[in-house]
Amino acid sequence: MEVVGNGGPAGAGQQPQININLAEMPDVKCTECDGIYFEQAIRFKKISKLLTAAPEDGIAPVQIWLCKSCGTPSETLMPEGL
């Protein structure tokens, strides 16, 4: 990995640019079948009105990723707390 400066003065509040060759990075793989392709799915969580003081229960969509080969949800890509 090569770090390339941004050309500005040090401490100017800008992040340095980092060049990353994605071809050299390892793939995220399915834990069940070693598949490397995933598709987006939406999981819905019910939120109790007792927790939100709302008049009715709420619904919250959560994006998850499923292996395209076997349909297994990716634990690596799962949001924390699910």
The predicted structure's pLDDT at residue 25? 94
**How many domains does the chain divide into?**
1
Whether 53 is covered by a domain: the verdict is yes
Q: How far apart are CA 4 and CA 7, in angstroms?
A: 9
Segment 50-54 long-range contacts (CB within 8 Å, at least 24 positions apart)? none
Q: State pLDDT tens for residues 53-63.
A: 999 999 999 99
| Domain span at 6 | 2-67
In a domain? residue 58: yes
| pLDDT tens-digit readout, 4-40 | 455 555 556 788 888 999 999 999 999 999 999 999 9
pLDDT value of position 78: 86
Does residue 25 lie in a domain region?
Answer: yes
Q: Which pLDDT value is given to residue 43?
A: 94
The distance between the two most distant Cα atoms of the chain, rounded to a whole number of Å, is 54
